[in-house]
Chain A
Amino acid sequence: MTDASLDFAGFTPTWCGGCGNWGIGKAVEMALKKQNLTPDKIAMLFDIGCSGNMNDFINAYAMHTLHGRALATAVGVKIANHSLPVLVTGGDGALYGEGGNHFLHACRGNHDLTVIVHDNSVYGLTTGQVSPTAHKGHKSKSTPQGTIDRPVNPLLLALTQGATFIAQGFTAQLPQLAEMIEAGMEHKGLAIINVLQPCVTFNKVNTYAYYLKRIQKLDENYDPTDYHAALKIAHLPMEEKFPLGIIYKTDRPTYQDELPQLEAGPLVHQSPFTNAGELAKGWR
């Protein structure tokens, strides 16, 4: 649609009152405005879930993809037009569960994307089944006796698989979260921002009170470029301690940087290939 004002605000969100998604939505908008972006200057990829429903609440050139596929789809968008900042939004079920394989490989490739994971340890939109970040023993509709699995540790996973910017935010700490998203977008390479986001309707364990007791600010002297220090910090969630802030940041050429085809500019703006006849001569 066209909109003279090109405002980010779309439809009024349908999230439950008190849902952590409100804070994330606001933080995304703040970060985009801070960078003087407008909806026609970015690409956003929304996964499926309560988080993905942001597709109608924030205006942008966007894809509301299939469940689990927002990140893989974003890889294609960025390769085809690397001049667009690309933001991926999805839940922990989508990004660490259904799309887990894409997550590993996006980290390896260091694609220049910013990924915001709404981590609430449940599947909200399907009314409360257990998700990959839920702690062992978590009782839910799909695990009435408590989940047997250990939780995925997204920070450690991202760190060991090659993401070059890893942060954790809390939806109740809005300014910090907005700054984190902005920093993630400014970072060249794959930025993973795991956001602790209470689901007030279906998760009675990982509540605001639960997190407020367990979040940890990073030490003032903490050096996010120190991989081994980051490994220690990233391990904390296994003890139900949740570090907040930029946990790791390093510079490595992005996937797009390493594609010689993109040196001349975005793929979508390149002139057509017209020399196919020459290729066939190799088959003489």
Chain B
Amino acid sequence: MARKSLLWKTGGLAGQGVMTTGLSMSKLATRSGAYVFDYAEYPSLVQGGHNTYEVLIQDTQPTASAWTLDCLVCLNEDTFNLHQHRLDEKSLLVYDPADFKPEDTVAIPLALPLKELLAELKANTIMVNTIALGASWALLSGNKTILETLITEQFERKGTEVVKQNSACALAGYDYVLKHFQKHMKNFPWKTDAPAQAVLTGNDAFSLGAAAADCKFYAAYPMTPASSVLSTLAAWQPQTEMIVRHAEDEVGVVSEALGASFAGVRSCVGTSGGGFALMTESLSYAGIAEIPLVLFLSQRPGPATGLPTWTEQGDLLFAAHAGHGDFPKIILAPGDQEEMVELTQTAFDLADIYQTPVIVMSDKFLSESHASVSLDSIERIVARVQNRGKNITETPENYLRYQVTDDGISPRLIPGVPGAFYQANSYEHSEDSHTTEDAEDRTNQAEKRARKLATFIENDYEPCAVYGDLEDAEIIFVSWGSTKGPVSMAREMLEMKTSHLHFSNVYPLDEEALKNFFKHDGEYVLVENNMTGQFGQLLRQQTGINIERKILKYDGRAFYPEEIVAAILQQQGEAS
């Protein structure tokens, strides 16, 4: 393939600054005209434990990480021991001879005396990562000025002395490589005139989408991997004027959001599986009382506390069936950062239009991985005009909050408008919102609510995205949410005709709209980051479509594209 790429990785003890160094690498690369996807792993600990950060740098947008490392920078011996199986004879292995000496490695060992340089510079121990960053950047043939600018910007807030020390460290690493390892430096077609790009995580993307959608109230209780939405939105309050509440528990969180939404502002909550479980009773209230609500659900492997800092797509069936009783809900699962900005805004529109809960699903892999997105695209996406559905701010004659309508949607008067009143009633109610146990009222209201989903299918439902030629394909991948990226990269690697159906509207699913996508001769292969093929189950339940061939991963790690390729080749081998 003509694609140019570099895969860089660093690892060290938690607290050694691995996360900062990694993000800096992503920014250096995008500022130099490349595109990135990065991925970090860390245990559920504040100090100690092994942290890693890998950045895939390409001349086109990467959508996942890759397997073979071009450069592994070890801040400790564990990094070498744990990741040496991803090195080949062209890989650069950077280590500090004061820490350890790599034995029996296929890679090219480069001894970088980190501790010695640190001592010469009389710098703080934490700055070892800055030396490593400088050295890494030189090994990737990066531009020195871009490095200096980034370091200055990054440490400006901490004063000139800190900037000076860090610059000295970064340059010491950079110059050491130029002096000693010039012949090992990797080439990359860096550009100087590239359009400006942001480097953002899925959680950043959700936060941006929420701000762009004019969400005015966000409540949450911290839970990995959703927590950074809370801190990002909280930090933005002076600009956005959004009110961000860290409430007492997830039940309080969702109740407050429903109160704020009832009062007329766009409202949202964010959590992971355990917190979402606590919110489900209120989800049901939003369903019957027809209160718009957006819920951000970033999955991690369960059950229970599970693997808090790792990834899985294990909550789809739970989300689809969450809440007691029958009521309409919509679930969106963006496949990447850009889609996340866009679909988050869609979620707020849909919540208003259909006056019901809309769940935006992510997982640790999407929530915490950064990807480059051009600022121009972001500008374009966030410029979208909102649709607030049948919200009204003037009292019509004989207003009925739960008026039975053909499309199932009743006009929603914003409370406080003079001349009227009504209840958002958690009991079954008549059209005028009073509690009722009347059989006819019950049937009418239940059917009215159900009609909203039919209207959604007709007006706003997006069946799935199609990549590649379905007619010709030997293999047709089926994915949802964050597995989109690894599947697209796997398709590029496979030397056979493939196609890809990606679902970001995951609930409800419409049989009529979908059956045409599943009538082709190629073999359909479901790719999911969970143990039981939950999307496959949902698809079968909702449409009768059954996908028998599956590639499933549930060890808490995301797919590497190479793993999908290997699974396909292995399955093909077994079949023939």
B271 within 8 A of A: no
Contact: B282 with A59, CB < 8 Å?
no
Task: Please give, as numbers and ranges, the residues of chain B lying within 8 Å of A276 by CB-CB distance.
Answer: 208, 211-212, 382
For residues 240 through 284 of chain A, which have their beta carbon under 8 Å from a beta carbon of chain B? 259-262, 264, 267-268, 270, 272-281, 283-284
Contact: A268 with B414, CB < 8 Å?
yes
Shortest Cβ gap from B205 to chain A (Å): 9
From A75-83, A152-160, A205-213, the one touching the partner chain is A75-83
Contact: A64 with B419, CB < 8 Å?
no
How far is it, in angstroms, between the C-alpha of A105 and the C-alpha of B249 when the chains are bound?
10
Contact: B216 with A65, CB < 8 Å?
no
Among A60, A62, A80, A273, residue most surrounded by chain B Cβ atoms (within 10 Å):
A80
Interface size on B, residues (CB 8 A): 77
Of all chain B residues, the one with the shortest Cβ separation from A272 is B214
Contact: B399 with A2, CB < 8 Å?
yes
Task: Please give, as numbers and ranges, the residues of chain B lying within 8 Å of A66 by CB-CB distance.
Answer: 255, 281-282, 285, 426
Shortest Cβ gap from B496 to chain A (Å): 38
For residues 414 through 470 of chain B, which have their beta carbon under 8 Å from a beta carbon of chain A? 414-427, 432-435
B516 within 8 A of A: no
Of all chain A residues, the one with the shortest Cβ separation from B265 is A80
Shortest Cβ gap from A3 to chain B (Å): 8
How far is it, in angstroms, between the C-alpha of A275 and the C-alpha of B378 when the chains are bound?
12
B47 within 8 A of A: no
Contact: B256 with A281, CB < 8 Å?
no
Contact: A84 with B214, CB < 8 Å?
no
Specify which of B248, B416, B423 is in contact with A84 (CB 8 Å cutoff). Answer: B416
User: Interface readout for A36-74 with B: 1 if CB under 8 Å, 0 if not?
Assistant: 000111010110100001011001111111101100111
Contact: B263 with A81, CB < 8 Å?
yes
A11 within 8 A of B: yes
Contact: A1 with B416, CB < 8 Å?
no
Among A6, A267, A274, residue most surrounded by chain B Cβ atoms (within 10 Å):
A267
Contact: B248 with A101, CB < 8 Å?
yes
A118 within 8 A of B: no
Given A77-B263, A81-B416, A102 and B211 touching (CB < 8 A)?
no
Specify which of B197, B282, B420, B425 is in contact with A1 (CB 8 Å cutoff). Answer: B420
Contact: B265 with A55, CB < 8 Å?
no
Task: Please give, as numbers and ranges, the residues of chain B lying within 8 Å of A262 by CB-CB distance.
Answer: 243
Given A63-B262, A273-B240, A283 and B426 touching (CB < 8 A)?
no
Task: Please give, as numbers and ranges, the residues of chain B lying within 8 Å of A68 by CB-CB distance.
Answer: 251
Task: Please give, as numbers and ranges, the residues of chain B lying within 8 Å of A73 by CB-CB distance.
Answer: 255-256, 258-259, 262
How far is it, in angstroms, between the C-alpha of A198 and the C-alpha of B255 when the chains are bound?
29
A-B CB contacts (within 8 Å), total count: 222
Interface size on A, residues (CB 8 A): 62
How far is it, in angstroms, between the C-alpha of A267 and the C-alpha of B262 when the chains are bound?
13
For residues 85 through 105 of chain A, which have their beta carbon under 8 Å from a beta carbon of chain B? 101-102, 104-105
How far is it, in angstroms, between the C-alpha of A83 and the C-alpha of B415 when the chains are bound?
11
Contact: B243 with A261, CB < 8 Å?
yes
Contact: B243 with A1, CB < 8 Å?
no
Given A77-B263, A81-B264, A272-B386, A64 and B426 touching (CB < 8 A)?
yes
Contact: B214 with A273, CB < 8 Å?
yes
Task: Please give, as numbers and ranges, the residues of chain B lying within 8 Å of A79 by CB-CB distance.
Answer: 217, 243, 245, 256, 259-260
User: Interface readout for A136-163 with B: 1 if CB under 8 Å, 0 if not?
Assistant: 0000000000000000000000000000
Main secondary structure of the interface of B (DSSP, over half): mixed
Task: Please give, as numbers and ranges, the residues of chain A lying within 8 Å of B239 by CB-CB distance.
Answer: 273, 275, 278-279
Specify which of A41, A69, A105, A264 is in contact with B282 (CB 8 Å cutoff). Answer: A69
Task: Please give, as numbers and ranges, the residues of chain B lying within 8 Å of A264 by CB-CB distance.
Answer: 241
Specify which of B251, B397, B400, B421 is in contact with A60 (CB 8 Å cutoff). Answer: B421
Contact: A65 with B214, CB < 8 Å?
no
User: Interface readout for B217-242 with A: 1 if CB under 8 Å, 0 if not?
Assistant: 10100000000000000001111111
Contact: B400 with A1, CB < 8 Å?
yes
Task: Please give, as numbers and ranges, the residues of chain A lying within 8 Å of B261 by CB-CB distance.
Answer: 76, 80
Contact: A102 with B382, CB < 8 Å?
no
How far is it, in angstroms, between the C-alpha of A284 and the C-alpha of B576 when the chains are bound?
50
Of all chain A residues, the one with the shortest Cβ separation from B256 is A76
Task: Please give, as numbers and ranges, the residues of chain A lying within 8 Å of B258 by CB-CB distance.
Answer: 63, 65, 73, 76
B106 within 8 A of A: no
Shortest Cβ gap from A57 to chain B (Å): 10
B398 within 8 A of A: yes
Among A41, A56, A262, residue most surrounded by chain B Cβ atoms (within 10 Å):
A56
Shortest Cβ gap from B155 to chain A (Å): 16
Contact: A64 with B423, CB < 8 Å?
yes
Of all chain A residues, the one with the shortest Cβ separation from B384 is A276
How far is it, in angstroms, between the C-alpha of A62 and the C-alpha of B413 when the chains are bound?
12
Task: Please give, as numbers and ranges, the residues of chain A lying within 8 Å of B395 by CB-CB distance.
Answer: 2
B171 within 8 A of A: no
Contact: B27 with A284, CB < 8 Å?
yes
How far is it, in angstroms, between the C-alpha of A200 and the C-alpha of B200 when the chains are bound?
62
Shortest Cβ gap from A167 to chain B (Å): 24
For residues 207 through 251 of chain A, which have their beta carbon under 8 Å from a beta carbon of chain B? none
Shortest Cβ gap from B327 to chain A (Å): 14
B322 within 8 A of A: no
Given A75-B256, A105-B247, A268-B264, A11 and B242 touching (CB < 8 A)?
no
Shortest Cβ gap from B286 to chain A (Å): 10
B574 within 8 A of A: no
Contact: B426 with A62, CB < 8 Å?
no
Task: Please give, as numbers and ranges, the residues of chain A lying within 8 Å of B289 by CB-CB distance.
Answer: 63
Contact: B434 with A11, CB < 8 Å?
yes
For residues 374 through 415 of chain B, which have their beta carbon under 8 Å from a beta carbon of chain A? 375, 378-379, 382-383, 386, 395-401, 414-415
Among A78, A79, A272, residue most surrounded by chain B Cβ atoms (within 10 Å):
A79
Shortest Cβ gap from B427 to chain A (Å): 6
Contact: B427 with A277, CB < 8 Å?
no
Given A76-B263, A277-B378, A59 and B426 touching (CB < 8 A)?
no
B199 within 8 A of A: yes
How far is it, in angstroms, between the C-alpha of A96 and the C-alpha of B237 when the chains are bound?
33
Contact: B432 with A1, CB < 8 Å?
yes
Known: A53-B435, A105-B248, A279-B236. 14 other contacts (CB 8 A): A41-B416, A55-B425, A61-B422, A63-B258, A63-B425, A66-B281, A75-B252, A84-B415, A259-B243, A261-B237, A261-B242, A262-B243, A270-B216, A280-B379
Residues of A within 8 A of B (CB): 1-3, 6, 10-11, 39-41, 43, 45-46, 48, 53, 55-56, 59-66, 68-69, 72-81, 83-84, 101-102, 104-105, 259-262, 264, 267-268, 270, 272-281, 283-284
Residues of B within 8 A of A (CB): 27, 30-31, 196-200, 204, 208, 211-212, 214, 216-217, 219, 236-243, 245, 247-249, 251-252, 255-265, 267, 281-282, 285, 289, 375, 378-379, 382-383, 386, 395-401, 414-427, 432-435
Q: Which 4 A-B pairs have the closest CB atoms?
A: A76-B259, A80-B263, A76-B256, A72-B255
- Interface pairs (19), CB distance under 8 Å: A1-B400, A1-B422, A2-B419, A2-B420, A40-B416, A43-B263, A63-B258, A63-B262, A72-B248, A73-B255, A73-B262, A76-B219, A76-B256, A79-B217, A79-B245, A81-B416, A273-B211, A279-B239, A284-B199
